[in-house]
Structure 1
Amino acid sequence: MKKSIFVLAAAVGLFATSCQNFKKGDGGLEYKIVKDEAAVKAADGDHLFVDMVVKSDRNDSLIQSTYDLGLPQYVNVVPDTIPGNYKGSYSSMFKYLGEGDSAVFRLNLDTMAAKSGQPKLPFADKYLTFTIKVRKHFKKAELPDSIAHVELEKYYKELIANLEKAEAGKIEKYVKDNKLEPKKTASDLQYVITEEGKGAKPVIGDTVRVNYVGKLTHGKVFDTSLKEVGEKAGLASNPMKTFEPIKFALGVDPVIPAWTEALQLLNKGSKATLIIPSKSAYGSNGQPQAQIPPYAPLVFEIELVDVIKGTAPKADSTATPVPVN
């Protein structure tokens, strides 16, 4: 079990225990203050960085967690009078909090639809629950607009730098926790062949078909070709998502560099675990659509299903990597 999962579980458990008696706020917003440390609460125009877990009341489904990314959510607190906003809206939650504070909020979706004029969210019945802890509070009164972007960018870069420093430790911990003895290539790709195939190894230009499960080192699955795994991870709710082996020309069609390298090490029919440093995946940018943070090492469980010999031209090795699927 990974440390970040323990942290998330503890946070959610604490909030759940504290949520039995909600108070009523403006506009029907329900709230429960868990920790009240800040002398100054957020006001219109302030900037916050918060750790946040969002859950739906439909089967207690997890919608979003900043703990999965390792990065806080940025929030610009805006007036209730802005079109689409109202007392008791999403933005108004943050006015109950300052730096170091934490709380649980329940947002009524019927009220939100009626007052914002937007359609009701399809993935919840009546409520969304937000568990929030304020990590950093920038006050508009102390931070004029002329320099706000400089200070916010500086803080964000510090967060990214911390992720970069933590990458090697995440890889080391994953290998140790899973008792792996991987082989390592010159690019720092680490891999373990869990089942040896008997077919030919693909070369550049061959077309391959691959089953895969992609996850972060703390276990969060961000993509897969396996329907059962995708349903469990909540990926099946995406109507554009298909569950089938990915098919591409090796070294021609754009995938992350580690895949091109790793597949050439495997025989057809092989299964393997890949531990991939961010420099061979999505690097300093991450992949926001897949909720992959910057400097995130990735773990892929792959199966080389088929190899179709081909003569496609070699791709430009400097091409920007794109999502696997």
Structure 2
Amino acid sequence: MKKSIFSLGLAVTIMGSACQQFEKGDGGLQYRIVKDNGQPKAQTGDLLSVNLTVTTDRDSLLSSTYKIGLPQIVNIAADSLPGLYPGDYNSMFKMLGEGDSAIFKLDLDTMAAKTMQPKPDFADKYVTFNVKVNKHFKKGDLTDSALYAEVNTYFDGEIEKLKASEEGKITSYIGKNNLEPLTTASGLQYIITEEGTGEKPVAGDTVQVNYTGALVATGEVFDTSIKEVAEEHKIYNAMRPYEPAKFAIGVRQVIPGWDEGLLLLPKGTKAKLIIPSELGYGERGDGRGVIPPFAPLVFDIELIDILKPTAPDSTAQENTQE
């Protein structure tokens, strides 16, 4: 986890800024300082902890630290590094200090020209960054190891906050949705929404399941086996098939919450599984930024079919032994 927090990825949540006045900077950069907290601005070698969202001028959200629940660590690089130019994202963050917030519109035509890279096809002209600086780590005379030790200590504290908030997220979700789940010894909670009449699977069986998965904290759907649901929530991927998932149950092919939950359900059952992170993706998340660390999940599932293991062909075994 710590190795990945120093890379800046494009990320944002939309702030209503259509009518706001922007100042013009180098390289076509446009900016508006929402709050100047009066603190020293970032210098080369410094690090900033920021919350940010990034959107395109097509009103598409590229990413957001608010979705992940953890801040982004930004390394302020020297302007002389290859690929950097006046008006790039490095320039943006050098305008900020601790407690500041701002909106930046990064000019993609300039970026393509200066970096000799193709212009991204996800926007027409601008990518907008909405940024709030949480903490400023000043390089000064510190060694790199001492500076990064400060950042790691800070980030460990942020992760602990995220961990401590998990139970509250689950309780809030259950209360808002007026649910009365059953709870297993492991902490898995589930609600039967439609009782099936078939047998229950046992470990080693192969099951076919339709599902939709969402984050408990935000309700955001991140995956589904159902095409219509994917289209509705704008996560449709033409490169994947939309059909029931098929996998062996109880043999660790899926997250523990699925292994445990599906073994409780008769064939034909529809249910809602509320899965704590310990039975999901744990302290690391999914590693892609879709499922954050310590994220409780909720799955609406339908157990469509149960397939028993195929018995070995005794004739083939005998021929092999001869």
When normalised by structure 2's length, the TM-score is 0.88
* Paired letter, 2:55: K
Aligned to 2:271: 272
**Per the alignment, in what secondary structure is the counterpart of residue 191 of structure 1?**
strand
* Paired letter, 2:31: Y
Give the alignment of 1:123-134 within 5 angstroms. Answer: 123-134=122-133
Cα distance in structure 1, aligned partners of 2:100 and 2:232: 33
The answer to whether the Cα contact below 8 Å between 1:278 and 1:297 also exists between their aligned partners in 2 is yes
The answer to whether the Cα contact below 8 Å between 1:19 and 1:104 also exists between their aligned partners in 2 is no
Aligned to 1:228: 228
Aligned to 2:152: 153
Is 1:245 aligned to residue 271 of structure 2? no
Cα distance in structure 1, aligned partners of 2:70 and 2:292: 8
* Paired letter, 1:233: H
Give the alignment of 1:162-181 within 5 angstroms. Answer: 162-181=161-180
Aligned to 1:77: 76
Aligned to 1:219: 219
For structure 1, list consecutive stretches of 5 or more residues without a partner in the other structure.
1-10, 313-325
Cα distance in structure 1, aligned partners of 2:141 and 2:100: 19
Aligned to 1:321: none
Listed one character per residue, the Cα deviations across residues 29-71 of structure 1 (whole Å, up to 9, x for unaligned) are 110111111321111111011111111112x011101111110
Deviation at 1:234, TM superposition (A): 3.4
Deviation at 1:94, TM superposition (A): 0.5
The answer to whether the Cα contact below 8 Å between 2:250 and 2:263 also exists between their aligned partners in 1 is no
Aligned to 1:201: 200
Deviation at 1:123, TM superposition (A): 1.4
Cα distance in structure 2, aligned partners of 1:252 and 1:157: 33
- Structure-2 change in CA distance of 1:99 and 1:187 (3 Å): same
Cα distance in structure 2, aligned partners of 1:18 and 1:95: 24
Cα distance in structure 2, aligned partners of 1:208 and 1:183: 22
Cα distance in structure 2, aligned partners of 1:79 and 1:228: 48
For structure 2, list consecutive stretches of 5 or more residues without a partner in the other structure.
1-11, 312-322
**Per the alignment, in what secondary structure is the counterpart of residue 288 of structure 1?**
coil
The answer to whether the Cα contact below 8 Å between 1:24 and 1:31 also exists between their aligned partners in 2 is yes
* Paired letter, 1:161: E
Cα distance in structure 1, aligned partners of 2:283 and 2:213: 18
Aligned to 2:111: 112
- Structure-2 change in CA distance of 1:190 and 1:142 (3 Å): farther
- Structure-2 change in CA distance of 1:108 and 1:273 (3 Å): same
**Per the alignment, in what secondary structure is the counterpart of residue 165 of structure 2?**
helix
Query: Sequence identity of aligned pairs in percent?
Result: 58
Deviation at 1:243, TM superposition (A): 2.2
Cα distance in structure 2, aligned partners of 1:142 and 1:219: 45
Aligned to 1:287: 286
* Paired letter, 1:25: G
Listed one character per residue, the Cα deviations across residues 105-125 of structure 1 (whole Å, up to 9, x for unaligned) are 111111111111122112112
Which shows bigger deviation, 30-39 or 289-298? 289-298
Count the aligned residue pairs. Answer: 299
Look at both structures and tell me which one has the larger radius of gyration over its CA atoms.
2
Deviation at 1:224, TM superposition (A): 1.4
Aligned to 1:37: 37
The answer to which structure has the higher helix fraction is 1
Q: Provide the aligned C-alpha RMSD in A.
A: 1.9
Cα distance in structure 2, aligned partners of 1:152 and 1:243: 42
Deviation at 1:290, TM superposition (A): 5.0
**Per the alignment, in what secondary structure is the counterpart of residue 140 of structure 2?**
helix
Aligned to 2:21: 21
**Per the alignment, in what secondary structure is the counterpart of residue 103 of structure 1?**
strand
